[in-house]
Chain A
Amino acid sequence: MLWLVPALPLLGSVVLLCTEGRLPKMVVAVVGSGSVGLAAICALYVGMNVVGTGEWQYTETLWTWMAVGDFNPSITLYLDGLALVMTGVITGVGFLIHLYATGYMWEEEGYSRFFAYMNLFVFAMLMLVLGDNLLTLFLGWEGVGLCSYLLIGFFHTDPANGYAARKAFVVTRVGDTLMALGLFLLFREIGTLEIQAALEGATATWPEGSGINTAICLLLLGGAVGKSAQVPLQTWLPDAMAGPTPVSALIHAATMVTAGVYLIARMQDMFLLPGPAMHWVAFVGLVTLFISAFTALVQTDIKRILAFSTMSQIGYMFLALGVGAWSAGIFHLMTHAFFKALLFLASGSVILALHHEQDIFKMGGLWNKLKIPFVSMLIGSLALAALPGTSGFFSKDAILLTAYNEASYGMLFWIGAVGAAFMTSLYTTRMILITFFGEVKTEPHDHSRINMWGPLLVLCALSIGGGWLGFMVLAPYMGDGGVAVEFHAELIALLTLGVPLLGVLIGYLIWGNHAISIDKFAASNLGERLRQFFFGGWGFDWTYDRVFVNPFVRLAQVNKSDFVDLMFTSIASLTTAIHLLVKQTQTGQLRWYATNMVVGLLVVVLIVIVQA
């Protein structure tokens, strides 16, 4: 039954691709969103069954390709607590986003193409999380990368979108190459890519830890960093916002960008072996969450604010993984999927109502004109800022407290993360206040129907109540016993709880009633410089352009005739030359053929006699 979960979106995609847009829009909408909806129901059913057995592990072999000697590649699905959470997010949140998209994309060209790609994405993502083999995982990994490329560049008439799509593809390719190297190394050392067997092999082979294990972990981390837009491979994500907003919600917030988190959580046994790998994960997360929180503060494009916020939140997940808070990390992945999808979809409604206006400074006073988007945005923001009671609070609180208790760098992690939490609530407050309050700058025209506001309301409920879901569903099934519900009275716990509230308060004082004025600072030389530095994402793009892109372009210009190709063209001309030579032997003359047979016979006899 589990096979139906990835099969249904694949079927949907195939149907939509084969009909090439000849179906009526209504049918496309039903096929496109229905396939994911049915997959969600199947996932729920299988999940309930698996929960019912109490085993927590379920494998289903779909297909054994061939068995030659010991080589028998098969495609097997593997469902455990981790995969179940991911499957639930992908199909559940995915379905809501698909449903929303049926309304959002209604007026656009290529309606059918859009849903074909989206369904294909869901299929690839499901193969990524359900594959029991790193090879299947890698296929899914590349599949989602391809769909991401196709969907970022969906509005392909604008070359800028094509550029953004290429950038995302090329930057993540750096990570994918590292990951592939990691897989090669793992296969060479352990001899299998089957996940469970490889983990057992690794823990049995390197119980004391080893350089090889660390190298494999770091290479896998490289892949995860690329896919999840973490420093230093984070530069593609803000540009990826060129895609339609539902794409940003599904791929660049809820699912694909969290694949890196999934990968590390899946391979946790290897990361747990002695070695510095865990600290690397934690530091990558810490640096990213800190940098992108500052960047989000000065952005003016509502989708870019959310993009940097996504990077920052995934940074929290990496931090959680790095300090061994596996459940908390996955828990945050789930709650983040709820509230970030909500934020993106709500912002999409705002953008649509304002005729594709994305600059928050051209919005304002929308709170009583776009009521449902406003309420959704507000609830999403509360969860993002991790105010007590919302889903984001529970997961982030768990991460921060575990980080604090980490043995070697606990204090540093905690300070960085709490500082960024403060920044998070600050930029969230700024976004809400500027977008929805103040004077009206653009008159909105809302014509969303139930297929658009329905998903928003469901996601609102999940963003608030998702925390409790975490305790009920997630807690017992994760490897490390789940997220404990504890209330700490210590100073650290209180600070962790209070800092976001402080951020909201200060945010209100700055952008709400203007009690604190930052105009003077912003106008100063230093303030402007800082703003530009933050705005440009801490100069990463600037540096990469100078260090990698420009030298490479220059190299390509110098090497226009392609020096490397020389090897291949010379092989081609060599084989052609030999072909022309041996072709001369086919004269069509019987006497020549017979002579050749006799010569060949003599050669064979000679070999036999000489060797005997």
Chain B
Amino acid sequence: MTLTDLWVSFPLIVLVGGTLVLMIGVSIVRTHKLALGLTLLTLILSVAAHDIALENITTGYELFGLLNVSGIQVFFNVLFLLGAIVTALFAYPYFNERMERCEEFYILLLTATAGAMVVAAATHFASFILGLEILSISLYAMIAYPRESHQPLEAAAKYLVLSAVASSAILMGVALVYAASGTMAFAELNISPESGERSYFLLGQALICVGIAFKLSLVPFHMWTPDVYQGAPAVVTGYVATVSKGAVIALLINYVQATEVLSYTGVFYAVVFVAVASMIVGNLLALLQTNLKRLLAYSSIAHLGYLLIAVLVVNTARPELVLETVLLYVAAYFIITLAAFGIVNLTSEHATEDNEQMEAYTGLFWRNPLLASVLTAVALALAGIPLTVGFIAKFYVFAAGVEGTAWALVWALLIGSAIGVFYYLRLIYTMVKQVEPGAAALPQVGTQSVVAVTVLGLLIVVLGVYPTPMIDMIRTIVQASGF
């Protein structure tokens, strides 16, 4: 291990070190505030450490043959860390109100984030699976964290079992691919057309795709999503929806670029099938949904389907456009989704159950204009209406699809979006409706995280109206990473 290795892995070291300090701290003195403070400090230091890491890499830096760190990974890592910071901020009032002994949650949050960072940088099956399991196991515990309640436990159990199925599919796939090609490093994975092991190899790739599709909650491996989204506490749902999916997307784009797995027609069409099914079925499932958390779950299925378009044109569109699209879409999706669950979380802080029924938001415009405005921005952004960051992201996907001449996918995007507008607007309509006399009052709204939610809501609009700085930044990152 050289000194440069150390500097490049410094953010991860800081994060893991912080986790250890927090563990020791919690075992000595239980203070919720202190745990939150240590967590935030660790996360912020880790963000800062990326600056040091960036100084030591040019286009990319190979760590131990397992990880590759480039500007793109740094971008994803910072997103994960910011997502974790927002989650920690939301978690404090949420758990503080309803349970004792909340400190371990932050340990899990930090380990999950570390796992996500490993997955995003993985260039080898070993690091991929290791990172994925660190992430997933932390998530099971985070979902089940309010351990006295029935719903989180049920959600965690479902996620545990189904996730295990997906993980075993990936492991089996890796075994087959290894048997056929004799290597586990992404860059060396390929097989000659005449090779007798070609069928093992493709079968293995198919199984890996299935596992990844499950983690991204793509149709037909999506069924866990609404149940887990609904059962998990809103803060955790926001984290599952953003950081865990962002990590797998980062891995996926790495993987398809390094292995060129999509040049095998069979794999390509399998992914096309998954993408189209997600865009259409995801939106159809959301159509008349009355539970906001389930609605957002179905919406996320569709959105991951849209994002898959950018991944699928990796061989036909310019690689820099593909990467720009993926980075921009993930960033936009993070902002929008965190804002959405932030609002659910905010209105649930003082309640025993999450405020997740849409009718609870009836007339929100007349009762809490600020929250209603943010939620409107969220709905419009998810629908991809211009002047929100959601439109910019969707437009990028559209442009990538057109450049990659993936017409079937572009059509699915259009049809899916058209269906989607219906239920997003229905949400806005609910908020504008006049409150009927005698309706249940809006649960008391916490004040602590209002700032975070407002900032996220502003970002949705500001980056939609003036996205140039973000686009320029992403473009610089992509170019600096050698594309």
Residues of A participating in the B interface, judged by any CB pair closer than 8 Å: 63-69, 71, 575-576, 578-580, 582-583, 585-586, 588, 590, 592-594, 596-601, 603-605, 607-612
The answer to whether A594 touches B161, judged by C-beta atoms less than 8 angstroms apart, is yes
B207 interface residue (CB < 8 Å to A): yes
A–B complex contacts, Cβ < 8 Å, 5 sampled: A67-B468, A594-B162, A604-B210, A607-B206, A608-B269
The answer to whether B267 touches A66, judged by C-beta atoms less than 8 angstroms apart, is no
* Shortest beta-carbon contacts, A-B, top 9: A611-B266, A600-B220, A608-B266, A579-B287, A608-B206, A612-B266, A593-B223, A607-B270, A68-B399
Given contacts A66-B392, A69-B321, A600-B221, contact A605 B203 (CB under 8 A): yes
Given contacts A597-B166, A599-B220, contact A579 B270 (CB under 8 A): no
The answer to whether B419 touches A610, judged by C-beta atoms less than 8 angstroms apart, is no
The answer to whether A607 touches B269, judged by C-beta atoms less than 8 angstroms apart, is yes
Given contacts A66-B471, A69-B321, A586-B223, contact A601 B285 (CB under 8 A): no
The answer to whether A593 touches B162, judged by C-beta atoms less than 8 angstroms apart, is yes
Choose one: B158, B273, B281, B466; the contact of A582 (CB below 8 Å): B281
B403 interface residue (CB < 8 Å to A): yes
Contacts of B205 in A (CB 8 A): 608
Contacts of A608 in B (CB 8 A): 202-203, 205-206, 264, 266-267, 269-270
The answer to whether B158 touches A593, judged by C-beta atoms less than 8 angstroms apart, is yes
B395 interface residue (CB < 8 Å to A): yes
Contacts of B395 in A (CB 8 A): 66, 68
What separation, in Å, do the CA atoms of A599 and B281 have in the docked complex? 16
**Min distance, Cβ B290 to any Cβ of chain A, angstroms:** 12
The answer to whether A605 touches B206, judged by C-beta atoms less than 8 angstroms apart, is yes
What separation, in Å, do the CA atoms of A597 and B213 have in the docked complex? 10
The answer to whether B165 touches A612, judged by C-beta atoms less than 8 angstroms apart, is no
**Min distance, Cβ B224 to any Cβ of chain A, angstroms:** 6
Choose one: B165, B198, B209; the contact of A597 (CB below 8 Å): B165
What separation, in Å, do the CA atoms of A596 and B227 have in the docked complex? 15
Given contacts A575-B287, A596-B223, contact A69 B399 (CB under 8 A): yes
What separation, in Å, do the CA atoms of A67 and B403 have in the docked complex? 15
Chain B interface bracket (under 10, 10 to 19, 20 to 34, 35 or more): 35 or more
**Min distance, Cβ A574 to any Cβ of chain B, angstroms:** 10
Chain A: CB-nearest residue to B392? A66
Choose one: B202, B265, B285, B321; the contact of A583 (CB below 8 Å): B285
Q: Mark interface residues in B135-165 (1 if CB within 8 Å of A CB, else 0).
A: 0000000000000000000000110011001
The answer to whether A66 touches B468, judged by C-beta atoms less than 8 angstroms apart, is yes
Choose one: B161, B198, B220, B266; the contact of A603 (CB below 8 Å): B220
Q: Mark interface residues in B457-480 (1 if CB within 8 Å of A CB, else 0).
A: 000000001111001000000000
The answer to whether B220 touches A596, judged by C-beta atoms less than 8 angstroms apart, is yes
Contacts of A66 in B (CB 8 A): 392, 395, 467-468, 471
Q: Mark interface residues in B257-278 (1 if CB within 8 Å of A CB, else 0).
A: 0000000111111100110000
Choose one: B266, B392, B466; the contact of A607 (CB below 8 Å): B266
Contacts of B80 in A (CB 8 A): none
The answer to whether B223 touches A585, judged by C-beta atoms less than 8 angstroms apart, is yes
B396 interface residue (CB < 8 Å to A): yes
What separation, in Å, do the CA atoms of A558 and B313 have in the docked complex? 51
B284 interface residue (CB < 8 Å to A): yes
Q: Knowing that A65-B468, A575-B287 are A-B contacts, what are 19 other residue pairs whose CB atoms are under 8 Å apart, sorted by A's residue number? A: A65-B465, A66-B392, A66-B395, A66-B467, A66-B471, A68-B395, A575-B284, A575-B422, A580-B288, A582-B281, A583-B288, A596-B221, A597-B223, A599-B220, A600-B210, A605-B203, A607-B269, A607-B273, A612-B264
What separation, in Å, do the CA atoms of A568 and B467 have in the docked complex? 35
**Min distance, Cβ B341 to any Cβ of chain A, angstroms:** 20
**Min distance, Cβ B240 to any Cβ of chain A, angstroms:** 16
B424 interface residue (CB < 8 Å to A): no
What separation, in Å, do the CA atoms of A66 and B332 have in the docked complex? 14
**Min distance, Cβ B405 to any Cβ of chain A, angstroms:** 14
Q: Mark interface residues in B370-407 (1 if CB within 8 Å of A CB, else 0).
A: 00000000000000000000001001100100010000
Contacts of A600 in B (CB 8 A): 210, 213, 220-221
Contacts of B246 in A (CB 8 A): none
**Min distance, Cβ A591 to any Cβ of chain B, angstroms:** 10
What separation, in Å, do the CA atoms of A603 and B285 have in the docked complex? 21
The answer to whether A579 touches B202, judged by C-beta atoms less than 8 angstroms apart, is no
Main secondary structure of the interface of A (DSSP, over half): helix
B338 interface residue (CB < 8 Å to A): no
Contacts of A580 in B (CB 8 A): 288
Q: Mark interface residues in B327-342 (1 if CB within 8 Å of A CB, else 0).
A: 0000000000000000
What separation, in Å, do the CA atoms of A590 and B156 have in the docked complex? 12
B115 interface residue (CB < 8 Å to A): no
Q: Mark interface residues in B428-451 (1 if CB within 8 Å of A CB, else 0).
A: 000000000000000000000000
B194-228 with Cβ < 8 A to chain A: 198-199, 202-203, 205-207, 209-210, 213-214, 220-221, 223-224, 226-227
Choose one: A69, A578, A597; the contact of B214 (CB below 8 Å): A597
The answer to whether A611 touches B269, judged by C-beta atoms less than 8 angstroms apart, is yes
Choose one: A63, A576, A604; the contact of B287 (CB below 8 Å): A576
B169 interface residue (CB < 8 Å to A): yes
Chain A: CB-nearest residue to B465? A65
Contacts of A598 in B (CB 8 A): 165
**Min distance, Cβ A69 to any Cβ of chain B, angstroms:** 6
The answer to whether B274 touches A604, judged by C-beta atoms less than 8 angstroms apart, is yes
What separation, in Å, do the CA atoms of A583 and B273 have in the docked complex? 20
B289-332 with Cβ < 8 A to chain A: 321
Contacts of B467 in A (CB 8 A): 65-66
The answer to whether A590 touches B162, judged by C-beta atoms less than 8 angstroms apart, is yes
Chain B: CB-nearest residue to A585? B223
The answer to whether B468 touches A64, judged by C-beta atoms less than 8 angstroms apart, is yes
What separation, in Å, do the CA atoms of A579 and B285 have in the docked complex? 6
Chain B: CB-nearest residue to A599? B220
What separation, in Å, do the CA atoms of A583 and B267 have in the docked complex? 28
Contacts of A576 in B (CB 8 A): 287-288
**Min distance, Cβ A97 to any Cβ of chain B, angstroms:** 32
Contacts of A612 in B (CB 8 A): 198-199, 202, 264-266
Chain B: CB-nearest residue to A588? B227
Contacts of A588 in B (CB 8 A): 227
What separation, in Å, do the CA atoms of A69 and B86 have in the docked complex? 33
Contacts of B221 in A (CB 8 A): 596-597, 600
Contacts of B210 in A (CB 8 A): 597, 600-601, 604
**Residue of A590, A592, A600 ringed by the most chain B CB atoms within 10 A:** A600
The answer to whether A578 touches B220, judged by C-beta atoms less than 8 angstroms apart, is no
Contacts of B392 in A (CB 8 A): 66
Chain A: CB-nearest residue to B472? A67
Q: Mark interface residues in B235-254 (1 if CB within 8 Å of A CB, else 0).
A: 00000000000000000000
**Min distance, Cβ B475 to any Cβ of chain A, angstroms:** 9
Chain A: CB-nearest residue to B267? A608
Choose one: A67, A575, A582; the contact of B471 (CB below 8 Å): A67
Contacts of B270 in A (CB 8 A): 604, 607-608, 611
What separation, in Å, do the CA atoms of A575 and B284 have in the docked complex? 7
Q: Mark interface residues in B35-78 (1 if CB within 8 Å of A CB, else 0).
A: 00000000000000000000000000000000000000000000
Contacts of B165 in A (CB 8 A): 594, 597-598
**Min distance, Cβ B200 to any Cβ of chain A, angstroms:** 11
**Min distance, Cβ A270 to any Cβ of chain B, angstroms:** 29
Contacts of B158 in A (CB 8 A): 590, 593
Choose one: B169, B202, B321; the contact of A609 (CB below 8 Å): B202
The answer to whether B273 touches A603, judged by C-beta atoms less than 8 angstroms apart, is yes
**Min distance, Cβ B216 to any Cβ of chain A, angstroms:** 13
Contacts of B266 in A (CB 8 A): 607-612
Contacts of A592 in B (CB 8 A): 223
Chain B: CB-nearest residue to A66? B467
What separation, in Å, do the CA atoms of A68 and B471 have in the docked complex? 9
Contacts of A593 in B (CB 8 A): 158, 162, 223-224
Given contacts A597-B166, A600-B210, contact A582 B285 (CB under 8 A): yes
The answer to whether A579 touches B162, judged by C-beta atoms less than 8 angstroms apart, is no
Contacts of A586 in B (CB 8 A): 223, 226-227, 285
Chain B: CB-nearest residue to A593? B223
The answer to whether A597 touches B285, judged by C-beta atoms less than 8 angstroms apart, is no
